[in-house]
Amino acid sequence: MSFEIISVIGLGYIGLPTAAMFASRKVKVIGVDVNQYAVDTINQGKIHIVEPELDMLVHAAVNEGYLKAVTTPEPADAFLIAVPTPFLPCAEGAIPAPDLSYIKSACRGIAPVLKKGDLVILESTSPVGATEQVAQWLADARPDLTFPHKVGDAAQVNIAHCPERVLPGHVVRELVQNDRVIGGMSAKCSERSVELYKIFVEGDCIITNARTAEMAKLTENSSRDVQIAFANELSMICDKLDINVWELISLANRHPRVNILQPGPGVGGHCIAVDPWFIVSKTPSEAKLIHTARIVNDSKPDWVVDKVKLAIADFLQSNPNKTAKDVTIACFGLAFKADIDDLRESPAMSITRRICSLHNGRILAVEPNIKEMKEEFFELVTAEQAKNDADIAVLLVEHKSFKGLDLSKIKFVVDTKGILR
């Protein structure tokens, strides 16, 4: 049975591009989101997030009538759940546990419109066991239908976990080209999921079970987190030993089997700073290295803030006629990484806010991908203005437009991304 209508629940950084991609292959797509602003924006053929090439795709999909956005789920042949899976708040130092409430409410939303023959795919990054939980939630809401956790291939509704693996900033290309891990709850669930993704995916669709698919996604992001922690640890070691870490890494990477990642102000985003906790919270005694990497990366912003405090002290020592109030600090970059507008779990943002709380002079922030920000204690300015007004520059994100930035007028620079190398 083919898919005439596909519904995507959650029209964020993953759901919207995925919805637009199916629509670009001339399949009718119903996007569902609780955010009325997002729904209205999409229905005007526009986008509410920054992602290269996505605007054109959404514009065409809406104008040609293949994509519409709504706030309440409607019947469809396949439902893809692409909602956030953050972690629950916890005491400092405790291991955070995953918050599956968005997935639960997505299940609650689609349950009334589910029918025999439908396919439900969980795309959200999830702890091991979440797909089985989805099956249980749907079964509880729809006792008239059968589900694969109870009857396997005989189920009337098929369920699979197919984690998204695209890199923000390259989503449109990676959605098509990346391989997909397809973790069906039965052979039939996997088979139908492959059929669905093959509508636009050119990469391989590799079949496994749901638990392995859940763990595969967590493993990919934990692997990256551990590697970035290594780079961040090196940067702190090199600072103590008076060695340029950027030069060191580029030399070490000339070894044919060494590939060290780049240090930075910390690890941000809603994936790499979050997903490893899903492993640590399930298996705390075993996940020692993964846990330590999280602690190293989470402590990097503190280290950067200490560097800023030292820069203020150095500036005041060189300018004895000034007080802290006279010192203007400019933070370059607020997003969690280069060339996107996403501020979620952004170390650059948290460092800038912390500078605001410790410094009583002027604080400027440059974020070329964001036009306005409300209720912040810093002034959002252009790079040009920051360059002219700042006494201290804190370089936090390697946005393209910062490359070649001439900061020669500013004597005190904290360069967390090696932009000036």
Task: Name the minimum Å distance from CB 51 to ligand SAJ.
Answer: 11
Among 34, 261, 316, 413, binds ligand SAJ (CB under 6 A): 261
If binding is defined by CB under 6 A, does position 272 make contact with ligand SAJ?
Answer: yes
If binding is defined by CB under 6 A, does position 248 make contact with ligand SAJ?
Answer: no
Comparing CB distances to ligand SAJ, the nearer of 108 and 224 is 224
162, 189, 271, 331: the active-site residue = 271
- Nearest to residue 137, comparing CAs of 103, 172, 178, 187? 103
Task: Name the minimum Å distance from CB 272 to ligand SAJ.
Answer: 4
Q: Please state, in angstroms and as integers, the Cα–Cα distance from residue 67 to each residue in 40, 72, 232, 294, following that order.
A: 12, 15, 43, 39
Task: Name the minimum Å distance from CB 154 to ligand SAJ.
Answer: 33
Q: Which two tokens stand for residue 154?
A: 């005989």
Residue 353: partners with Cβ closer than 8 Å, 6 or more residues away: 376, 377
Site for ligand SAJ in 120-179 (CB under 6 A): 125, 164-168
Give the E-state strand segments of 170-317 in sequence order: 180-184, 205-209
Mask 201-230, x = binds ligand SAJ (CB under 6 A)? -------------------xx--x---x--
Q: What DSSP state is assigned to residue 87?
A: B
3-state helix/strand/coil string of 383-420: HHHHHHHCCEEEECCCCHHHCCCCCCCCCEEEECCCCC
Mask 340-379, x = binds ligand SAJ (CB under 6 A)? ----------------------------------------
Task: Name the minimum Å distance from CB 167 to ligand SAJ.
Answer: 4
Active site residue 271: yes
- Tell me the three state secondary structure of residue 181: strand
Residue 96: partners with Cβ closer than 8 Å, 6 or more residues away: 87, 88, 89, 90, 277, 281
Sheet containing 363-366: which strands, arranged edge to edge? 379-380, 363-366, 329-332, 392-395, 412-415
Comparing CB distances to ligand SAJ, the nearer of 246 and 315 is 246
- Which residues does the annotation mark as catalytic? 217, 271
The residues of the shown chain that bind ligand SAJ, judged by CB under 6 A, are 125, 164-168, 220-221, 224, 228, 261-262, 264, 267-269, 271-272, 336-337
